[in-house]
Amino acid sequence: MTTSPDHLAKARAADSERRRARVLKALDQLAASGEEITVSSVARAAGVHRSLIHRHGDLHAAVVARAAEAPPGTTTGNQVSRQSLLADVANLTARNRRLSAHVTRLERRLSEALGQAAWEASGLGAPADVETLTRRVTELEQQILDLRADVAERDEDLAAARATNRELMAQLNTPSSTRSKTTER
């Protein structure tokens, strides 16, 4: 049995038309029943592979158009459309991306701050403000000099008070006849 190329082409075209008709029929049935319409669900209902719908632009456009329509028997009042849900998903995805980038920047800043604090606490790094610390050291050195001068002055006052105390004690401890002579003079 020989087959002509025209016969094979006609058989292939007929098979393609049968599959296209099954896809369109399945699309109508899914739309009528109110089920979700996607390329996968239409292909499954028609018994064809998804690639057939994707290869034929008109079939793919029909599936997308039917998926965008509201299911039969629904009111258009407060119903959410597929497009609005897709827009919401796109907006939320973009927001998640922005928040993720912001969290990454904050984590990097926190890591740098903690690293700097650990570096300074370990004593390996230079102090944060050398000029302020130098000024403080100078102030403390001046305070030490002032305190030493105060201590020296108090030591002199104490030595004078002790000397006076010794003289008074010596006068008190001397016999009274000597004391009266010293007082008479």
Tens of pLDDT, residues 164-179: 999 999 999 988 765 5
Whether 132 shows a pLDDT value over 90: the answer reads no
> Are 62 and 27 a contacting pair, CB within 8 Å?
yes
Give the pLDDT band (50/70/90) at residue 74: low
The pTM assigned to this predicted structure is 0.40
Place of tokens 């604090």: 117
> What is the model's pLDDT at position 2?
59
More confident residue, 161 or 131: 161
> What is the model's pLDDT at position 110?
96
More confident residue, 83 or 99: 99
Give the pLDDT band (50/70/90) at residue 3: low
CA distance 117 to 185: 79
CA distance 38 to 93: 21
